[in-house]
Chain A
Amino acid sequence: MKKVYLNTAVNISAQDTFDQEGFLNETKELSGKTITANYPNYKHYITPANLRRMAEAVKMGVTAATQALKNMAITQPDAIITGTGMGCIDDTEKFLNAIISNSEQFLTPTSFIQSTHNTVGAQIALNLKCKAYNNTYSQASVSFEWALMDAQVLLQQGEAENVLVGGYEELGKEIVTYRRMMEDADSLGIQVPFGEGATFFIVSSEKTENSIELMDIEVWSKISTTSIQDNIMRFLEKNTLQLSEIDALIVGRNGDVFDHYYNLTADLFENITQLHYKHLSGEFYTASSFGLWTAYEILSRQEIPKALIFKGETKSNKHTILLYNQFKGRDHSFILLKR
């Protein structure tokens, strides 16, 4: 089976991450109920006419995707695969509210047309005139992981060489406030703001200078707290890795009661360097793609920004990273990256 590599990673988030020079050297502390992303200058990527029409998810997605392709000088990827938990929620809410406030009259199609989950993948294909395989996943906190796994299968089976893979989420205006309201009413609820962002990767079977190997990825719909340690152990065994060979553990802590899963995982290791990121990105269904971006950057740059450290010391050599994310005890993902 062919090996699978991440060859470039582009991220738009609440932090200053799109500019690829630095790596979380200066970070913004997030507070409040929701946090918008730090939007790049879209004008370099999208025409003014399209900019007026597009919602934030589409703008962020198209921009991050375009930059990722540019980094690898790819004009035609062999597949475009995206993941999003809430989809194009802004246009969805816009169209729904127009229906409600105008009693189903005087509606225009624009926001309906742009409300489907595959809008970002479709726009990217349209811009590139790319007729290749195109797919969109929407499964809560493993939406992005499924896009990545689909790419992994395409590459391993030799059906593609370069796949554009991305996760994106926009805040929207209304449903996010109700979701926040439910969290705030629960003392054990999510403690970081709800956020948004987009991360795109070129995933490839070709090794280049900047390649980081995607050793493996697993997703599980449901794992109990009593079996999480066994699941992690089996995942490492499958990849013939000892616990001691993991140089850093990156988990999706968001301060809610389900962080217990991460504690149990960390307990398996002795003195593991444990990193977290949702205090920097905010929580959203594809926040784990921000996590994967940090892992890619750590391995390429051999540098761990202080802001990511949850516990432990920084090792001098960083070869192998394990990522683990879940949302309210559901939709778990394990990813192994190797330099």
Chain B
Amino acid sequence: MGVAITGMGIISAIGHSVEENKTSLLASKSGIGNLRHILTNHSQAIKVGEVLLSNAELTRQLHLPEIHNYTRTGLLGLVAATAALENSNISDCSTYRTGFISSTTVGGMDMTEQYIKQFATDVTTQKYIATHHAGDSTQKIADTLGINGLVTTISTACSSAANAIMLGERLIKAGKLDRVVVGGTDSLSKFTINGFKTLMIQSDALCAPFDAHRKGLNLGEAAAYLVLESDTVVQKEKKDVLAYLSGYGNANDAFHQTASSDNGEGAFLAMQKALEIANLNPDQIDYINAHGTATPNNDLSESIALKRVFGDQMPDFSSTKSFTGHTLAAAGAIEAVFSILALQEQYLFPNLNFNTPMPETGLKPITSGIKKEIRHVLSNSFGFGGNCSTLIFSKA
């Protein structure tokens, strides 16, 4: 059955809590719109899934002192991680061997890109010199949660959070931890906006995953964390289980630094491994929360991989990136929360903005919300560097 998930927390463009995210998903309400918090030449040419709260508002909400050196990545992460622990009714992290596994792509880039040219001369900006590295936000969040032991950050581009969740389960299974908070956080930055711009895979319209005329992705920012607990802890503390993480797979496409292979080999292998670990047949998957970034390359490659795994018996699938944008390192955790919500609500969230199936595969995602019996959900996360990961969540 896998390891129990007993808590979750999230902040994204469609809400600042699990409840708000659920409401938006059930109402088919996307959070993608115009950029507000970042000054860039490209603001008219892109649509983004931005968290509405400013850094000052996040600071107040978190009761942090006015002067601190949290990056936005850290602030978003702290909101979601604190909420996950609360959701799991954990007030003291020292009672069990508790770990924290986060993930991020750009770490403290949001501050670095603003202040790098002032570091040498402006003393007030120097507090951000040490916050650039990926582990900084992780350390700060772990300290606030009171987690002192196994604390780490995974950075495998857009599959990062899926790998963080996977590692959490493996460490519990290996007996190194009793309980672990897993997930990821990434804030929007000029750096990533310009990076994706150079790759010409950013759409100026609302993204349309799996559509024949898809023009590219919308970037997003978000953070989400799950609490995983061993069976012993669940029994001893009589915990409510939200869902189980029943399968996981990690493979590399080994094809190109940024592009996915024509036959979706890495994605295919990751899904196969996850099904194997979960001891499930493809026909037992009731819903797929696809990676579905809405880039021409990803959606075709993923579709081909899906067809290789599921053949003609394609389960209902959708990409919720049409709600949140592509939240990079955090995406795997955001979509884990959505997968668990699907299991709890017995409801499939739609793929927004889809009109025409792509001619190569003819696959049609679900385009409106459906009430349905769901026992197993498969969630994909793929990244630059060929890093492909799949998670399977099962009903509690």
Contacts and interface: CB of A to CB of B under 8 A. Distances in A.
Please say whether chains A and B are actual partners in one complex. Answer: yes
B152 A142 contact: yes
A201 B80 CA distance: 36
A143 B135 contact: yes
Interface in A107-135: 107-109, 112-119, 121-123, 125-126, 128-135
A142 B149 CA distance: 12
A137 B116 contact: no
B155 A138 contact: yes
B129 interface: yes
B199 A131 contact: no
Contacts, number: 196
B223 to A, nearest CB: 17
A206 to B, nearest CB: 20
A104 interface: yes
Contacts of B153: 137-139
Interface in A53-99: 80, 85-87, 92, 95-96, 99
A113 B154 CA distance: 18
Given A104-B42, A118-B387, A123 B250 contact: no
A108 B195 CA distance: 8
Contact of B154 (A95, A104, A135, A220): A135
Given A116-B155, A136-B155, A182 B130 contact: yes
Contacts of A134: 156, 250-252, 385-387
Interface stretch (A22-30, A149-157, A252-260, A301-309): A149-157
Given A134-B387, A153-B171, A139 B135 contact: yes
Given A107-B198, A134-B386, A222 B143 contact: yes
Nearest to A106: B198
A103 B41 contact: yes
A197 B119 CA distance: 26
Given A104-B194, A131-B251, A140-B139, A117 B130 contact: no
B174 interface: yes
Contact of B148 (A153, A177, A220): A220
Interface of B: 40-42, 100, 105, 107, 109, 112-113, 116-117, 119-120, 126, 129-130, 132-136, 138-139, 142-143, 147-157, 163, 167, 170-171, 173-174, 176, 190-191, 194-195, 197-199, 250-258, 265-266, 269, 383-387
Nearest 6 interchain pairs by C-beta:
A122-B385, A117-B155, A221-B151, A112-B195, A138-B134, A109-B198
5 contacts: A132-B252, A133-B252, A134-B250, A220-B149, A221-B143
Interface of A: 80, 85-87, 92, 95-96, 99-100, 103-105, 107-109, 112-119, 121-123, 125-126, 128-140, 142-143, 146, 150, 153, 156-157, 174-175, 177-179, 181-182, 219-223, 285, 330-331
